[in-house]
Amino acid sequence: MATTSAGYARARARAGFRKTIRGVVGIMVALAVWQVLASIGFVRPEWFPTATTVLGDAVALLGQSAFTLQVLSTLYDMLLGLIISTVVAVPLGVLLGRFPLAYRMSSVLVEAMRPIPALALTPVAILLFGLSGATTVSLVVWTSTWPILINSVYGMHSVDPVALDTARSFGLGRWTALYRVALPSAAPFIATGIRIAIGIALAVAVATEMVTGAGSGVGGWIVQASSGGSLIPVYAAAVLVGLVGYLLNYLFERIERRLFRWHLSYRKEGA
């Protein structure tokens, strides 16, 4: 029995390795196609540069603090916004999930606020916070709050009442039960909300920076760089910022998987 389970583990490791290899091959093929298309030269090279040109430029950009500092600035604003909305939305979602009347009273309001596009509020944010990072942060907060809030409520609604009753029967107080039982079982849903928020927060942060003006963050950098007529820096920045977004998402998924191994959606194969 022990040998077979070790065998399964090895087989799974091999499948994971194959997956990685195939993913890399896929990206390589895409780069090769890009390279060939761009080399044919039916579009001006400064509009559609080859993959090697862009990758070379991207590596060079990494060494320029003028660029990397802007990336860090955008990341900082985005993460700050995410943290603020998590701190606000999770407790709010837990409360709305626990108290049906509060949920019923607020659900229409939430449904009406949620689809308001963050960018529509840019001018208001500019008026309130000026052309600063605070504007970016506030719009990231607006965007991220809704998915986190809704998933928190949903997570609380799917807490097994039996688990809560069990906790109460062991003498846990109402709030202790909420903290020790309900919150952990809602946590995977909350994490899903945060992951959705991450997906759109970076786009909103960059977009806000592009509107609020040149100089600040990746968005500002893009506006300035693209005014020169050559698109090569824009491509290079897209490659690097994409990498940052990819790593951010990857990291979060890894943490999620590690923390919530017990949760159903992660043990589909085991069932």
Partner 1 sequence: MNAAASKPQVLSVQDLVYAYRTADGEIEAISDLSFAVHEGEFVSIVGPSGSGKTTLMKIVAGLLQATKGSVRILGKPLTGRVPDGVALVFQDYSRSLFPWMTVQRNVEFPLSHRRASRADVAQRSRESLSAVGLVDFATRYPWELSGGMQQRVAIARALAFRPRLLLMDEPFASVDAQTRADLEDLVADVHQQFGTTILFVTHDIDESVYLSDRVLVLSAHPARLLLDREVPLSRPRDQVATRELHDFVRLRAEIAGLILRPGTEKTASSPQDTSPGGR
Partner 2 sequence: MAQVRTPRRTTAKEFGQGIARWVLESVALIVVLVALWQVLTSVFHPLYFPTPVAIWGQIARAWFTPLGFTADILPSFERVTLGWLLAAVIGVPLGVAVGRSRSFAEYVTPLVHYARAVPPPVILPIFMIFFGVGNAMKVVFIAVGVLWPILLNVIKGVESVETVQLDTATVYGIGGSRRLLHVVLPAAMPDILAGLRISLALAFVLMVISEMIAASGGIGYQILQSQAQFDILNMWAGIVVLAVGGVVFNAVLTTIEGRVLRWHRGQRREAL
CB of 171 to partner 2, least distance (A): 26
Q: Which residues bind partner 2 (CB under 8 A)?
A: 18-19, 22-27, 29-30, 47, 101, 104-109, 111-112, 114-124, 126-128, 143, 158, 160, 196, 199-200, 202-207, 210-211, 218-219, 222-223, 226, 231, 234-235, 237-239, 241-246, 248-249, 268
- Among 6, 25, 32, 60, the residue binding partner 1 under the rule CB under 8 A is 6
- The three-state (H, E, C) secondary structure of the chain, written as one string: CHHHHHHHHHHHHHHHHHHHHHHHHHHHHHHHHHHHHHHHCCCCCCCCCCHHHHHHHHHHHHCCHHHHHHHHHHHHHHHHHHHHHHHHHHHHHHHHHHCHHHHHHHHHHHHHHCCCCHHHHHHHHHHHHCCCHHHHHHHHHHHHHHHHHHHHHHHHHCCCHHHHHHHHHCCCCHHHHHHHHHHHHHHHHHHHHHHHHHHHHHHHHHHHHHHHCCCCHHHHHHHHHHCCCCCHHHHHHHHHHHHHHHHHHHHHHHHHHHHCCCCHHHCCCCC
Residues binding partner 1: what is the number (CB under 8 A)?
Answer: 9
Report the b/e string of 198-230 with b at 16+ CB within 10 A.
beebbebbbbbbbbbeeebbbbbbbbebeeeee
Which tokens hold the place of 184? 């952990």
- Among 14, 44, 104, 254, the residue binding partner 1 under the rule CB under 8 A is 14
C-beta of 6 vs 255, nearer to partner 1: 6
Which option in partner 1, partner 2, none does residue 3 bind, with CB closer than 5 to 8 A by kind?
Answer: partner 1
28 lies in the binding site for partner 1 (CB under 8 A): no
CB of 199 to partner 2, least distance (A): 7
C-beta of 7 vs 215, nearer to partner 1: 7
Which option in partner 1, partner 2, none does residue 66 bind, with CB closer than 5 to 8 A by kind?
Answer: none
C-beta of 9 vs 116, nearer to partner 2: 116
Which option in partner 2, partner 1, none does residue 183 bind, with CB closer than 5 to 8 A by kind?
Answer: none
179 lies in the binding site for partner 1 (CB under 8 A): no
CA distance 21 to 222: 33
Specify whether the backbone of 229 is left (phi greater than 0), alpha (psi in -120 to 50) or beta: left
17 lies in the binding site for partner 1 (CB under 8 A): no
C-beta of 14 vs 174, nearer to partner 1: 14
Which option in partner 2, partner 1, none does residue 254 bind, with CB closer than 5 to 8 A by kind?
Answer: none
CB of 8 to partner 1, least distance (A): 7
3 lies in the binding site for partner 1 (CB under 8 A): yes
11 lies in the binding site for partner 1 (CB under 8 A): yes
C-beta of 47 vs 176, nearer to partner 2: 47
CA distance 119 to 116: 9
Positions touching partner 1 (CB under 8 A) are 1, 3-4, 6-8, 10-11, 14
